[in-house]
Structure 1
Amino acid sequence: MARIVIIGAGMSGLAAASRLATLGHRVTVCEADGTYGGMVGRVERDGFAFDTGPTLLTLPAVYRDLALKTGREPLEELVDLAPLAPESRHVFPDGTEAVLPNASRGGVAQALDAAFGAGSGERWGEVTNRGRTVWEATRRPLLEEPLPAEPLEDPYPRPARRGLSRWLPRTRYTLADVARRELGGHPGMTALLAEYALRHGLTLDAPAGATVLPYMEQSFGVWSVRGGIRALAEAVYRRCEQRGVEFRFGTAVTEIVVEGGRARGVLTADGRIDADLVLSSSDRPGLGLPEPSREPGRIAVLLALRGGRPAGTAHRTVVHAADLARQERALAEEVPPLRPTVQVLRPDDSSLVPDEDHEAVTLHVTVPGGGERGTGGDAAYADHLLDHLAAAGIDLRERVLWREVRRTDAVPVPSLAGGRINPPNDSGVPGLYLIGGGAHPGGGLARVGMSACITAGLIGPA
């Protein structure tokens, strides 16, 4: 049995702790804050509750595996999961609407034919088929296994070149090329493709391999958790407690102790904690992970509304930018975009509201990074967003009881979609492993869970 210290009680720390304790190790988790969950936060006020980090779950198989490997029970016995139905409703600037079913690529094709005309669904399907090729080429090395030594090239199978273009040097192939050459420059389908990228802070200049993002969602589905994603963090924390994990909250690690070229423990304000192995999910200087780069962030507007949720309302509605090119320029110039693409999240979950005569709604917008995280200004921008939604037919302004505006991190860019390659889980320092959003295979609920699984596999049983 190894003595293991984990720095950070975010989702990666919780997932790693539960797996390693199940394997027979003695695990202690040090967390600087007073609670667990990391970015999976929560705001509660006047009977309303809001997630302040991730709000939906993709690739639930990651946490299904965790539940089975640490307790031999299905995830559905730990949390109440439900697939979104529909997956999303899309409102485009010209008034066109498209309602996309969940986990049905054939159904998506039919919806796009209905919205944009016959043949649209077939074109979109050809693009997502190429996204499937990216998924199959990168899933194991960039998600499920330790980071490969050799970098992978974008495996997107670009269409054959014709005419004189065959003799020109091959250039980088981007989502903009996909939109122009494979989607015929159709504004609606271009906006749809761009929205999947935008959620991760990408633009149409991203590599064509980012088509894996719509492929994944439309193939494997999008899920909600009753009580919000915070309920998932609570379930994994309970599993840690059942497996005997020790938690030390309010205990910031100031240094990883390396002696004789090997990690031997950590230093905290309360003293040294000796360990045989250290796992770090912290990007604070000196704690293993590199400091995060300046990337686009996200503004979340939490809306407490009078009046119940209208029947038939989609959980997720996407109001697309009035001018996609203008939005991308604003992000490049690091100014908040006007009339941007907005995700409107309206869960049908009675546990998040005081009663059936109220509704909890969250707006998400990708904005330039570098703003102050947490509660702050941006009130005027929130007003602008509400006006923008009203012009698109979603007028919530007169129903607002109170609101809170928060800046958070954007959903991290997966490496398989052209994002940066994070450091490997084996740090190169014996006894020190890296987990979490800053380590392989990257950030986001699914990937930090994979990070914990890979690292537990590297360490093995007691």
Structure 2
Amino acid sequence: MARIAVIGAGMGAMAAAARLAVAGHRVTVYERSATYGGAVGRFERDGFAYDTGPGLLHLPAVYRDLFVKTGRKPLEECVRMTQVDPASRHVFPDGTVVSLPNASRGGVVAALDAALGAGAGERWGDFLGRARDAWDRSRRPLLEEPLREDWQVLGRDPYPAIRQRRLLRGPRSAGTVAEVGAWELGDSRLAALFDGYALSYGLDPRHTPAGAALLPYMEQTFGSWYVRGGMRALAHAVYERCLERRVEFVFHADVVRIVEKDGRAAGVELAPGPSDGAATVVDADHVVAGTAPAALVGDELWRDDDVRPRGGGAGVGTPSVPGRFTVLLALRGGRPDGTAHRTVIHSPGRGDEAGAVFSGRTAERPTVTVLRPDDPTTRPDDGHEAVTVTATVAPHGPVDWTDAGLRERYADVLVEVAGAAVPELRERLRWREIRTPADTAARTGARGGSVPAPSLAGADGRLLRPANSTRLPGLYLVGGEAHPGGGLAHAGMSGALVAGLIVEGADFRGSR
């Protein structure tokens, strides 16, 4: 039985802790804040409740597997999950509106044909077919296996783009999200749909490889799920599973150093407490870091040819990964029957929006996502409604999101846009609460409040995340800043990978 110290109580860290504990190890989680869940937070006021992180779950099989492997009760006995149908409603700048059914490729094709015109659905369906090929080519090395030493093979884009003859340039294939939209989808609204998927994950459509087709493919194939009580209820269920497996949690425990001995990680040093005034060193056989560990060790963690952290959230350089600007709305009046859970209102200037977000400015008219869950736990009674409005924005630093005037002005922009999804929004408004990347940074410690994107193949490996094992023996990385990147499902995958590496060692070849 090994002693394992886990830094941070995010979803990936807790997933690893539960799996390691059930394998017989003694696991202690050290969390600097007062609670678990990392970015999966909850805000409550006057009987209203809101997720302050992700609002929907994709690839629920990741958490089903976690619960099957760590206890008797399956996931569905620990939380109440429902498929969101329609999966999303989209409002385009020309006024076109389309609702896409959940996990039904044929239904999506039919809905797009009906709303956008004959042939639009077929083009999207053909695109998803190529996305499936990219999924089949990259799924295991990208998501289910430890990052390979020859990770450069993932630098090639797995998306089988159509070879096309471009005017004056000869045959070419779409290499980015934006080029797929322009060259293959053939409709500005379909292009906006694909752009919107990339942007919602914090990826620049102008430069993100076409392999990002995996993102709409995963959602439209495996579905979108809501957890009653919000994603915080999922975090609570994972925390409870950890406790059942006798994982120990120490809150208000700030790890300031990873202890090294005989050339390997040998424990953690905790900051002095408010009463004792002395640092505490805790011995461990393995250390699992759910936070960026570069500042906690004395040696370089990566070799020259390793995948290295990106700027945002990695503690290195200027943040470049976007964050989220969120407005929580408390509304008078009940949620009408037939209301879509999620509505995406697309920006009229897609290129302008991406140019602003990824150069450290505020977009004049962003793409806005409106979440309206049909969940009694989110509101004081049926005569009120809790609504969450979100946009992808530049991180804190390039934009000063502590500026009170800017926060209020940008909240006004999002609320005005959201009026396309929520009639009489301003008349119904009781109060609003604003959350910016500066708030995310303060709550989670993520540099600039950046939200890490999932790893993607292509782009010469620039969108990969560092391997779960490091140059320092005994130190492992888990969560959004490690392979296979950000997002609820990917965090759960990283937990499975780290547990496998510790339990099975060098023989571990990935999840099955």
Q: CA deviation at 1:372?
A: 5.8
Q: Which one of 161, 165, 177 corresponds to residue 158 of structure 1?
A: 161
**Match of residue 442 from structure 1:** 485
- Alpha-carbon contact 1:263-1:430 (below 8 Å) kept: yes
Aligned: 1:405 with 2:408: no
- Alpha-carbon contact 2:102-2:223 (below 8 Å) kept: yes
Instruction: Give unmatched runs, 5+ long, in structure 2.
Output: 272-278, 298-308, 438-448, 506-512
Amino acid at match of 1:401: R
- Alpha-carbon contact 2:178-2:205 (below 8 Å) kept: yes
CA distance in 1 between counterparts of 2:142 and 2:198 reads 18
CA distance in 1 between counterparts of 2:102 and 2:348 reads 26
**Match of residue 414 from structure 1:** 454
**Match of residue 224 from structure 1:** 226
Percent of aligned positions with the same letter in both sequences?
55
Q: CA deviation at 1:193?
A: 1.1
**Match of residue 35 from structure 2:** 35
**Match of residue 286 from structure 2:** 277
Q: How many residues align?
A: 460
- What's the secondary structure of 1:416's corresponding residue? coil
Q: Deviations over 1:103-152 (max 9, x none)?
A: 01111000000011111111011111111111111111111110012221
Q: Cα–Cα, structure 1 residues 452 and 296, in superposed 2: closer, same or farther, change >3 Å?
A: same
CA distance in 2 between counterparts of 1:374 and 1:237 reads 32
Q: Deviations over 1:378-401 (max 9, x none)?
A: 111111222223367744111111
Q: CA deviation at 1:237?
A: 0.6
- Alpha-carbon contact 2:368-2:417 (below 8 Å) kept: no
Q: Cα–Cα, structure 1 residues 393 and 27, in superposed 2: closer, same or farther, change >3 Å?
A: closer
- Alpha-carbon contact 1:422-1:440 (below 8 Å) kept: yes
- What's the secondary structure of 2:355's corresponding residue? helix
CA distance in 1 between counterparts of 2:403 and 2:224 reads 28
Moved over 4 A (4+): 162-168, 371-377
Q: Deviations over 1:289-326 (max 9, x none)?
A: 74264211110100011111111100001111122232
> 1:182-201 counterparts in 2 under 5 A?
182-184=184-186, 186-201=187-202
**Match of residue 301 from structure 2:** none
CA distance in 1 between counterparts of 2:286 and 2:3 reads 6
- Alpha-carbon contact 1:41-1:53 (below 8 Å) kept: yes
Aligned: 1:291 with 2:292: no
Q: Cα–Cα, structure 1 residues 397 and 167, in superposed 2: closer, same or farther, change >3 Å?
A: closer
RMSD of aligned alpha carbons: 2.1
Aligned: 1:215 with 2:217: yes
Amino acid at match of 1:215: Y
Q: Cα–Cα, structure 1 residues 246 and 99, in superposed 2: closer, same or farther, change >3 Å?
A: same
**Match of residue 335 from structure 2:** 309
Q: Which one of 435, 459, 462 corresponds to residue 502 of structure 2?
A: 459
Q: CA deviation at 1:160?
A: 2.4
CA distance in 2 between counterparts of 1:94 and 1:161 reads 28
- Alpha-carbon contact 2:390-2:414 (below 8 Å) kept: no
- Alpha-carbon contact 2:174-2:180 (below 8 Å) kept: no
CA distance in 2 between counterparts of 1:203 and 1:181 reads 17
Q: Which one of 255, 258, 269 corresponds to residue 256 of structure 1?
A: 258
- What's the secondary structure of 2:235's corresponding residue? helix
- What's the secondary structure of 1:405's corresponding residue? strand
Instruction: Give unmatched runs, 5+ long, in structure 1.
Output: none
CA distance in 2 between counterparts of 1:130 and 1:461 reads 35
Q: Cα–Cα, structure 1 residues 354 and 415, in superposed 2: closer, same or farther, change >3 Å?
A: same
Higher deviation after alignment, 307-316 or 394-403:
394-403
- Alpha-carbon contact 2:162-2:173 (below 8 Å) kept: no
**Match of residue 337 from structure 1:** 363
**Match of residue 66 from structure 1:** 66
CA distance in 2 between counterparts of 1:132 and 1:281 reads 31
CA distance in 1 between counterparts of 2:97 and 2:13 reads 41
Q: CA deviation at 1:171?
A: 7.5
Higher deviation after alignment, 281-290 or 233-242:
281-290
CA distance in 2 between counterparts of 1:48 and 1:372 reads 28
- Alpha-carbon contact 1:91-1:319 (below 8 Å) kept: yes
- What's the secondary structure of 2:66's corresponding residue? helix
CA distance in 1 between counterparts of 2:367 and 2:263 reads 50
- What's the secondary structure of 2:131's corresponding residue? helix
